Amino acid sequence: MTFKAPVKDMLFALEHLAQLDQIARLPGFEDANLETAQAVLEECARLNEEVVAPLNWEGDKKPSWWQDGEVRTTPGFAEAFRQYAEGGWQGLQHPVEFGGQGLPKTIGAMCTEILNAANLSFALCPLLTDGAIEALLTAGSDAQKATYIPPMIEGRWTGTMNLTEPQAGSDLSLVRTRAEPQPDGTYKIFGTKIFITYGEHDMADNIVHLVLARVTGAPEGVKGISLFIVPKYLVNADGSLGARNDVRCVSIEHKLGIKASPTCVLQYGDQGGAIGYLVGEENRGLEYMFIMMNAARYAVGVQGIALSERAYQKAVQYARDRVQSRPVDGSVAGAAPIIHHPDVRRMLMTMRALTEGCRAMAAVAAAAYDAAHHHPDAAVRRQNQAFYEFMVPLVKGYSTEISHEVTSLGVQVHGGMGFIEETGAAQHYRDAKILTIYEGTTAIQANDLVGRKTARDGGTVALAVAAQVQATEAALAADGSPDAQAVRVRLQAAREAYEEVVRYIASQAKADPVAAYAGSVPYLMLAGNLMAGWQMARALLAAQRELTAGRDVAFMRAKIATARFYAEHILPRALAQRDAIVYGADALKALALEAY
Amino acid sequence: MTFKAPVKDMLFALEHLAQLDQIARLPGFEDANLETAQAVLEECARLNEEVVAPLNWEGDKKPSWWQDGEVRTTPGFAEAFRQYAEGGWQGLQHPVEFGGQGLPKTIGAMCTEILNAANLSFALCPLLTDGAIEALLTAGSDAQKATYIPPMIEGRWTGTMNLTEPQAGSDLSLVRTRAEPQPDGTYKIFGTKIFITYGEHDMADNIVHLVLARVTGAPEGVKGISLFIVPKYLVNADGSLGARNDVRCVSIEHKLGIKASPTCVLQYGDQGGAIGYLVGEENRGLEYMFIMMNAARYAVGVQGIALSERAYQKAVQYARDRVQSRPVDGSVAGAAPIIHHPDVRRMLMTMRALTEGCRAMAAVAAAAYDAAHHHPDAAVRRQNQAFYEFMVPLVKGYSTEISHEVTSLGVQVHGGMGFIEETGAAQHYRDAKILTIYEGTTAIQANDLVGRKTARDGGTVALAVAAQVQATEAALAADGSPDAQAVRVRLQAAREAYEEVVRYIASQAKADPVAAYAGSVPYLMLAGNLMAGWQMARALLAAQRELTAGRDVAFMRAKIATARFYAEHILPRALAQRDAIVYGADALKALALEAY
C-alpha cells in the first residue's frame, strides 16, 4: 500500500497547461516559478509518502472513536498533524502577514492533491481549517483575524464549518440554530449541527467552529442567517485558552468511508448558551459561508483526483504482480501478469486518462483563480474570475463523479482480492462515495452550473470557453500528426455537442425549467468531460513540442498516448449526454410522481 | 427498510415479453401459465418480504463469524432457511422426480430475483445449492443423484462450488488441489480452496462440496482437472450422516459487502486426505463445472437486477419523505419532498429504467432457456439455445455493472444520509461490488461474448439478434405514437452502432486480438444496453396495446414513459461505446507496459 506522489505529471501540468511562468509574473508571486514548485512538491511528497500515507489503512481499521463527548483519532494522526503543521503546510496558500507562505493556488492545489491521495480522512482536517481561514480573511474583523488565523496557520488550532442540521441539508433556508444577542455584543448560540467534520478531535488545542445561525427576530429563509465564531475553548485577550465553551460532541457517525475522519453531531447551548462572535454583519452569513464553500468545493474536486490517482497506482501495482492466463496475442507463452490482458489495460488506461484529465482541468482552473486575484489589469481579473467560477462546479462535480468510476475500476482490476478489505482497494471505493455528496451534491453543483454560470448570462461564458476549445482544435490540425488528428476529430465532436447543449440549457432555463434542470447533471458531466479532454489535447500539443526537442521522450510518449485515449474513449460520452439532455426531458416529465 | 416484490412488473414481463403462454405449451410445463406464475410470485413475495428481507441489514451489522473451524450465521438466518426449504423453494426449478417443483426457469428466475432483493447474502446459499444440483443432474451417477440431490432440494443439505485457489482465480489451469485414487474407487483430496461461499455454516446438516482437483498424473492445464463430491459429513448407505470428512474451514474473509455470507478458506486433507467421489469422468471437471457456472452466471445477473430493484425502492421512499428546497418550476410554494426536483427524478428514472430493462432482458433469456430444453422441435431448441448462450454474458455482465450504477445513484438520492451505514443505502452499494467479480468478472463474460459467442460464428448469431431488433423498429414505426417514434429513432441508432461493432469484433478477433479484446467490455455493455432497450421497446408496444384496451391504465402509462426514458437516456450510450471500440485500440496499444 505504498503511494508515490505524481510530481512529474504535476510539474508538466504546471508548466505546460497552467503556465506557471505567467503566474510567476503576477505581483506577490515572483518566487512561484517552476523551481519553487518542484522543491515544494518534492518536500510535500516526502512528508506525505513517508508519514501520512501509511496511516490511511490504519485509519480505516481503527477509525476515530467517541467517548463521553471526546473524540480520539486514529493512533498516529496527532503526531502526523504536528509534523504537517511544523512543516508550514497549513499556511501554504495563506497570507504571509498571518504566518503563511503566500504561494499561488496553482501550486497549493497540487499539494492538496498529494495530501489527500496520501490520506483523505486525515486531509479533511487541514481542508476545513483552510476554509475557516479563508472565511475569516474575507469577512472577519481585524481583531478576529489576529486572534484566530495565526494559531490555525500554525496548526495549533483547527477550523470547522457548521451548516447542516437534521432538517437542513442542501436547503440552508431551513436552518434553525438560533443566536441571542447579549449586552456585551456577543451572542448565545443554541441548536444542533450534524455532519461536522472534525467537529471534535484530539489533534489540536482548540477548534474554531464557524456556525450558521439565525439571530432572534431575523427574517425567514436564507436572508436571515448569520455567521458566528464559536471556539471550543474561549480565547483570552493574550491569546491563551480560557473556559470551555458550551458546545459538545454528542455522537459521531458510523460511515461508509472516510472512517478516520470524525463526523460529529454538535450540540450548542445545552448549558445556558454557547458564546459566539458575529462574523461581519448580521444576516449575511450565507454569503460568507459561500466563500468558504467555494474554496472547499474546489478542494473536494481535488480530493476526487487524489483518490483516483491513489486507486490507479494500486491497480497498476496489482496488475504487474498478479499472474493469470495467457495473453490473447500470444505475446507471453504461459500465464502472464494481468497487465498483459487488453481489458486490464483498458481499465488502467481509463483510470489514468481520467485522472490526468481531471488534474489538468483543475490546474488550469487554479491558474485562473490566481490571475483573478493578482493580475494588475482589472479586465484580465474579471475574465479569469468568470472562467474560474465556471470551472468550480466542473472541478467539483466531474472530478468526484469520475473518482467513483476510477476507484470502482480499481477494485475491479483486483478481482476477488479487491472485495477483501485488507487489500485496500475497497477503501478508496468507499471513501470516494462521500465526494459527490458533501460541499454540495453533484446536483447542487449542476444547479449552480445551469443557473448562475450558464442561464444568467445566456451562455456567454460557456460559449467563450467553447471558442477556446476550437482554437485548440485548430492547433491540433496544424500539428498534423496522426495522434493530433485523431484527438481533433473527437474534440470537435464533443465541443459541438457541448455548444448544442449550452444553447439548449440557456434557452430552456426560464421557458421550461424542469427540462433544463433535468439535464443539469448530464450537462455538468459533458462540460467536465470536454474541459478535461481539452486540457489533455493541449497536453498532447505540448508533449509533441517537447518530443521534437528530444526532452523526456518516454514521459512525452505516454502523455500523447493517454491524451489520445482520453479523446477516443472518454470524449465520445458527450454524444450520449447531448442526446439525453436535448431529447430526454419529455420522458422524464411523463411519469407521474405517484407512479414511481 | 421495507421491501415489496415487484410482482406486477414481473407478471407484465412474463406475459408480454417472455410470452409465458408459449412456455406453458411446452411438454412438462403445462401448468406454468400466468395464473400459476402469479400464485407462485405472490407466495414467494410473502415469505421474502416478511421473513427474509428484515434480516438483510441484520446480516450486515452482525455478519457470520468464525470460531474454531465453525461458522455461525447471523441470528435468524437458520430459521429463515428452514422456512425457505419447507416452502419448497429450493426445488422450484428442479425435477419433480427428485422432489422439485419442475417449474420453468422463466418463472423461477423471478423468484430468484425476489429472494436476492430481499437478502443477497442469504440468497447465496440457495443459489450455490442450485448450482450443485444442476451439476449433479448433468454429470452425476444415478447413485450420486439419489444420494445428494433430494436432501439438497429439501434444504437439509446445501451445496458449494470449490474452484478458486490463491494462485488460481480466473485462470483455472493453475489449480493445484490434488486427488489421489484409492483402491476402493474413492479419492483422497489435498489442497486449499479460497472464496468458498457458504463453505461452512450452521444452516443445514451437511454441505456437499463440489471440488475441482487434479488426479495424480493428470495432464497440465485445464485438461487435467476433475470434479469431486466431497461432503462435509460422509453419507451412509441409508442416507444418514457418518463420519466428519477431512475438510476444515480455517478462516473467513472480511469483505466490502455480502458480509452475512461466509466466504471461506477450506483446507482439504490435513488429516490424511478428504474422501472425494469422482463426478462423471476424470479430466472433464471443467466441463461439468461450467454447467454449474452457466446457471450461476445467469443467477448472478439476476442478483444485479435484484439489488437494483431494492435500491430503487429505497431511494423512492426517501425522495418522497425528505423535504428540501422549492421546486424549480414553482409547482410547490415552499420546500417540497425532493422527488419534486428534476435531478432527483432523473436519478430515480435512470434507476427504474435500468432495472426494468435488465429484468425484461433476463426474462426473455430465461424463456429461451426453457424453449431450448423443452421444445419438441430440435431446430427450435438449437435456435433458442444459441440465443440463450449469447444472452448469458449480457445478463451477467450488463445487469451487474448496471447494479453498480443504480446502487450508487441510490446512495446519491439519500445525500449525506446515504453515507451513514444505518440508512442502509450504502449496504446495497457495497454488496453490488461483488457481482461484477464472482462467477467470472465482467472481462471474463466479455471474453466469452467476443470469443465463443461472436468471433466463432463470424457474428452470425449476434447479427441475427440485430435483425430481430430491426423487426421491433418496424413495429414501432407502425404504432405511430410519438412515444413509439421517439423510441424507434434511438433504437435504430443503437442497433446500427451494435452492428458496426459486431462486424468489427468478428473481423478483428483473429487479425488483431488485442484490438478485439480491448473492446470486449464496451461491446458487452453496448450489446446489453441494446438488448435491454429492445425489450423495453417491446414493452412499450405491449403497453400501448393494453392501454388501447383500457387495461391497467396507470401501470401502462408508466411503462411507456419508462421505455421512452430508457431509449432517450440510456440507449445513446451505444454511440460513445461504438466510437471507443472501433477507433480506440491504437491509443490503448500505444502506451508501453512499463509506462503505466
Q: What is the DSSP string of B62-127?
A: S--EEETTEEEPPTTHHHHHHHHHHTTGGGTTS-GGGT-----HHHHHHHHHHHHHH-HHHHHHHH
Chain A closest-CA separation from residue B554 CA (Å): 7
Name the DSSP letter for residue A323: B
Q: Is residue A1 very low, low, confident or very high in pLDDT (cuts 50, 70, 90)?
A: low
A interface test, pick of B300, B433, B501 with most A CB neighbours within 10 Å: B433
Does residue B1 register a pLDDT over 60?
Answer: no
Distance of CA B292 to the CA centre of its chain: 13
Does residue B277 register a pLDDT over 80?
Answer: yes
Q: Which residues pair with A274 in a beta bridge?
A: A189
Within 8 A of A593 by CB-CB distance, chain B residues are 339-340
Q: For residue A291, what pLDDT is reported? A: 79
Query: Which string of DSSP letters, residue by residue, matches A50-72?
Result: IIITTHHHHHHHS--EEETTEEE
Asked if A253 contacts A169 with a C-beta cutoff of 8 angstroms, the reply is no
SS (H, E, C) A324-342: CCCCCCCCCCCCCEHHHCH
Residues of B acting as catalytic residues: 439
- In 3D space, the residue among A407, A435, A284, A412 whose CA is nearest the CA of residue A344 turns out to be A412
Q: Which residues pair with A210 in a beta bridge?
A: A161, A229
Q: Determine whether the interchain pair A520/B342 forms a contact, defined as Cβ–Cβ distance below 8 Å.
A: yes
Q: For residue A442, what pLDDT is reported? A: 98
Enter the C-alpha cell of residue B513.
486480438
Q: Convert the pLDDT of each residue in A6-47 to its tens digit.
A: 999 999 999 999 999 999 999 999 999 999 999 999 999 999
Does residue A564 register a pLDDT over 60?
Answer: yes
Neighbouring C-beta atoms of residue B142, cutoff 10 Å = 7
* CB proximity list for B240: less than 8 A, separation 6 or greater: none
- Residue B261, Cβ density class (10 Å: 0-12 exposed, 13-18 middle, ≥19 buried): buried
Q: In residues, how long is chain A?
A: 596
In angstroms, the CA B281 to CA A164 distance is 66
Residues A61-78: what's their mean pLDDT?
97
Q: Determine whether the interchain pair A324/B169 forms a contact, defined as Cβ–Cβ distance below 8 Å.
A: yes
Asked if B103 contacts B374 with a C-beta cutoff of 8 angstroms, the reply is no
A interface test, pick of B253, B343, B553 with most A CB neighbours within 10 Å: B343
Q: At what angle do helices B342-374 and B520-548 cross, to 10 degrees?
A: 90
CA diameter of chain A: 84
Q: Convert the pLDDT of each residue in A233-275 to its tens digit.
A: 999 999 999 999 999 999 999 999 999 999 999 999 999 999 9
Neighbouring C-beta atoms of residue B67, cutoff 10 Å = 7
Q: For residue B295, what pLDDT is reported? A: 84
In angstroms, the CA A513 to CA B345 distance is 14
* CB proximity list for B261: less than 8 A, separation 6 or greater: B59, B64, B120, B121, B122, B124, B125, B197, B198
Asked if A293 contacts A307 with a C-beta cutoff of 8 angstroms, the reply is no
In angstroms, the CA A113 to CA A225 distance is 33
Instruction: Please tell me the number of Cα atoms within 13 Å of B478 on its side-chain side.
Output: 9
In angstroms, the CA A337 to CA A329 distance is 14
Asked if B360 contacts B13 with a C-beta cutoff of 8 angstroms, the reply is yes
In angstroms, the CA A378 to CA A505 distance is 30
What is the amino acid identity at position A257?
G
Q: Is residue B290 very low, low, confident or very high in pLDDT (cuts 50, 70, 90)?
A: confident
Enter the C-alpha cell of residue B485.
417514434
DSSP helix/strand/coil, A303: helix
Residues B388-406: what's their mean pLDDT?
98
Cα separation of the two ends of chain A: 44
Nearest CB neighbour to B433, from listed A411, A442, A568: A411
- In 3D space, the residue among B472, B532, B525 whose CA is nearest the CA of residue B352 turns out to be B532
Asked if B558 contacts A591 with a C-beta cutoff of 8 angstroms, the reply is yes
Q: Determine whether the interchain pair B171/A572 forms a contact, defined as Cβ–Cβ distance below 8 Å.
A: no
- Which residue of chain B is at minimal alpha-carbon distance from A569? B580
Within 8 A of A324 by CB-CB distance, chain B residues are 168-171, 174
Burial A504-539, CB ≥16 within 10 A → b, else e? bbbebbeeebbbbbbbbbbbbbbbbbbbbbbbbbbb
Name the DSSP letter for residue B462: H
Burial A432-471, CB ≥16 within 10 A → b, else e? bbbbbbbbbbbbbbbbbbbbebbbeeebebbbebbeebbe
- In 3D space, the residue among B170, B255, B405 whose CA is nearest the CA of residue A408 turns out to be B405
Q: For residue A490, what pLDDT is reported? A: 98
Enter the C-alpha cell of residue B570.
440510456
* CB proximity list for A99: less than 8 A, separation 6 or greater: A91, A149, A150, A153, A154
Burial B103-116, CB ≥16 within 10 A → b, else e? bbbbbbbbbbbbbb
Q: Determine whether the interchain pair B415/A422 forms a contact, defined as Cβ–Cβ distance below 8 Å.
A: no
Query: Which string of DSSP letters, residue by residue, matches A454-470?
Result: IITTTTHHHHHHHHHHH
C-alpha dist (Å) from residue A245 to A268, A308, B378? 9, 40, 83
Phi, psi at B335, each rounded to 5°: -65, 140
Q: Convert the pLDDT of each residue in A167-216 to its tens digit.
A: 999 999 999 999 999 999 999 999 999 999 999 999 999 999 999 999 99
Catalytic residue among A439, A473, A499, A546: A439
What is the amino acid identity at position B106?
T
B interface test, pick of A326, A402, A588 with most B CB neighbours within 10 Å: A588
Q: For residue B435, what pLDDT is reported? A: 98
What value does the mean pLDDT of chain A take?
A: 97
Concerning whether A439 is annotated as a catalytic residue, the answer is yes
Chain B closest-CA separation from residue A557 CA (Å): 8
Q: At what angle do helices A34-47 and A105-118 cross, to 10 degrees?
A: 20
Q: For residue B292, what pLDDT is reported? A: 81
Chain B closest-CA separation from residue A376 CA (Å): 40
- Which residue of chain B is at minimal alpha-carbon distance from A517? B342
Enter the C-alpha cell of residue B473.
423498429
In angstroms, the CA A25 to CA B4 distance is 64
Place of cell 486507486: A311
Does residue A293 register a pLDDT over 90?
Answer: no
Alpha helices (H) in A13-141, listed in sequence order: 20-23, 34-47, 55-61, 77-86, 105-118, 120-139
Q: Determine whether the interchain pair B587/A568 forms a contact, defined as Cβ–Cβ distance below 8 Å.
A: yes
Q: Convert the pLDDT of each residue in A102-147 to its tens digit.
A: 999 999 999 999 999 999 999 999 999 999 999 999 999 999 999 9
Q: For residue B85, what pLDDT is reported? A: 97
Q: For residue A2, what pLDDT is reported? A: 85
Instruction: Examine the predicted complex and report whether its ipTM is higher than 0.95.
Output: yes
Burial A161-197, CB ≥16 within 10 A → b, else e? bbbbbeebbbbbbbbebbbbeeeeebbbbbbbbbbbb
Q: For residue B245, what pLDDT is reported? A: 98
What value does the mean pLDDT of chain B take?
A: 97
Residues B109-120: what's their mean pLDDT?
98
- Residue A22, Cβ density class (10 Å: 0-12 exposed, 13-18 middle, ≥19 buried): middle
Q: Determine whether the interchain pair A418/B437 forms a contact, defined as Cβ–Cβ distance below 8 Å.
A: yes
Place of cell 441508432: B493
H/E element holding A234?
strand A233-235
Q: Convert the pLDDT of each residue in A457-516 to its tens digit.
A: 999 999 999 999 999 999 999 999 999 999 999 999 999 999 999 999 999 999 999 999
